[in-house]
Structure 1
Amino acid sequence: MTAAASGRSDWPEVVTVGETMALIRADEVGPLAQVSAARFGMGGAESNFAVALRRLGVSVAWVGRLGADSLGDKILRELAAEGIEAVATRDPVKPTGLMIKERRTAHNQRIWYYRDGNAGSRLERADVPEQHVAHARLLHVTGISLGLSDSASAAAQHAVDIARDNGTQVSFDLNYRSALWSPDVAGEAFRELVRRADLVFAGDEEAAMAVGPADDPVDLAVRLCEFGPSAAIVKLGAEGCVARIDGRTYRRRAVPVQPVDTVGAGDGFVAGYVAEHLAGADVESRLQTAVTVGAFACLVPGDWEGMPRRNELGLLAAAEPVSR
């Protein structure tokens, strides 16, 4: 769908550009060859982020490319149900991408991606809605788009160009995927985008790809900020995070949980931080919401289903297990 280039007053506060795929998730533990039941849904870093952000009360548009098929219809239905505006090009030739999650053991999963040459990898500059980005408060992109294909990288870079030209803030999550490219090539691309971002998020290994190894993750955050962003947050999983924001260093512990599925936790973390950043909250509140949303994402199977609504953020600290 598209919006009129003028006369609109309800532009989404945040725009995110990237790949969303259909998802098949095994219900049973064990090799996929023996599984007899599975669930069908969607997954993708940018749409995970969008769901988490929308549940926290921020209006958001997801921009991407889907096949003109039933898998694409499923994704659009899910996004609409979450209140997310989808600006989706429907590719008449290539299918919607697919990923399959295998629960190999009770504590380990494998993810198989079927994305080569699919609709998402054919995302291009013309698919990016200039007015949406220009009117947004923040644009969010990830390293997945940079590594997915030349055209997808160009689309993400074009969105950043529009943001820079119009005073829209840029949030960048490095989000490295080894199946897409090598660490050396990714690191160079990451550095270029970090230079153009206002907010940068990375795991410690991802940050090291961009700025070199360090003994302390705080050093990684400091080095990322030396490229230009005002804030660099290094995600440390169960150890929480460290951050360098406006020249000051912060540390935040994770919210302790028993994880069921950690996929999507990093996307939720970023959404939690961005939501509070846009609300003008202090840094401690931003980081606390970030680790809380990340923890919620780990508590259910699926990439985005566990993302909390704002009125649920206190549940993990509740003394009583039943709310009445």
Structure 2
Amino acid sequence: MPQLITIGETMAAFTPNTPGPLRYVQGFGIRTAGAESNVAVGLAKLGLNAAWISRLGDDEFGRFIRNQLRAEGVDCSHVIFDPDHRTGVMFKETGVGETKVFYYRENSAASHLSPEDLSPALFEGVRMVHLSGITPVLSESCLAATRAAFALARQAGSLVSFDPNIRKKLWRGQDFVPLIRSLTLQSDIVLLGLDEAETLFGLRDPDAVFDTLFRDGRARYAAIKDGGRGAWVADGASRRK
């Protein structure tokens, strides 16, 4: 049984071999791209038994993603191959000091993740469940699956780790701030950027952000990232940069 579970979409990511507009690119490399599966890979590299749960299309890109993550030591035995929906893909465009990303993930297999894909048995003996703010904004069924994951983790006595991972490009003009804020405050372990803290709580002072997470939420541990300037971490009793 896995010690840790991550849940969320992973796409096939195409990176151009040369910089410039994609209309002029003749070749691409392919890799996996998914915030939650990246966490699973990192945990596996640390020697922990980590599983990744999601939906993939029953297609070549889905098999590629499963094979790549499995080769990194991630348990993919609970991944569902969806025969009716494709694997999401993305393309990067690189230039001087700028990278653009083009998503082709609408109606992807992962956007059909639902509570029915998560059973209480999957959470038995699991120490931590990690999710991000990307999954609940993909679709109504993904939001329901996120809420179910929180509930099942609580029932199993697992810690919930959450990264808001705000991607307004996925919000399609909707305001998901209240939802992401609520999920952040329901989490035991929180990892967020200083800019995300300002978006969610209107705060940029790290001490004020920690006060909010520990006072108004249920966080036991938190980390606030500030790009190249470093990060602050806290366990509710001690804080350091």
TM-score w.r.t. length of structure 2: 0.94
1:135 aligns with 2:164: no
RMSD: 1.6
- What's the counterpart of residue 310 of structure 1? none
Residue correspondences, number = 239
| Equivalent residues in 2 for 1:65-80, closer than 5 Å | 65-80=55-70
What is the aligned-residue identity percentage?
35
Structure 1 or 2: more strand by fraction: 2
- What's the counterpart of residue 33 of structure 1? 23
| Equivalent residues in 2 for 1:1-324, closer than 5 Å | 11-86=1-76, 87-105=78-96, 107-181=97-171, 185-214=175-204, 216-226=205-215, 227-251=217-241
Residues 141 and 168 of structure 1: CA distance in aligned 2, closer, same or farther (over 3 Å):
same
Residues 70 and 184 of structure 1: CA distance in aligned 2, closer, same or farther (over 3 Å):
closer
Distance in 1, Cα, partners of 2:69 & 2:157 = 27
Distance in 2, Cα, partners of 1:115 & 1:73 = 17
Distance in 2, Cα, partners of 1:96 & 1:182 = 20
Deviations 1:146-178 (A, max 9, x none): 111111111111111011011101100110111
> Does the 8 Å CA contact 1:60/1:84 hold for their aligned counterparts?
yes
* One-letter code aligned to 1:218: D
* One-letter code aligned to 2:237: G
Deviation at 1:218, TM superposition (A): 2.9
Residue 36 of structure 1 aligns to a residue whose secondary structure is: coil
Distance in 1, Cα, partners of 2:212 & 2:37 = 29
Residue 22 of structure 1 aligns to a residue whose secondary structure is: strand
Deviation at 1:29, TM superposition (A): 1.4
Residue 102 of structure 1 aligns to a residue whose secondary structure is: strand
* One-letter code aligned to 1:123: L
Distance in 2, Cα, partners of 1:99 & 1:84 = 22
Residue 54 of structure 1 aligns to a residue whose secondary structure is: helix
Q: Say which is worse superposed, 121-130 or 66-75, in terms of deviation.
A: 121-130
Deviations 1:191-222 (A, max 9, x none): 221232110111112122222233x2332232
> Does the 8 Å CA contact 1:24/1:39 hold for their aligned counterparts?
yes
TM-score w.r.t. length of structure 1: 0.71
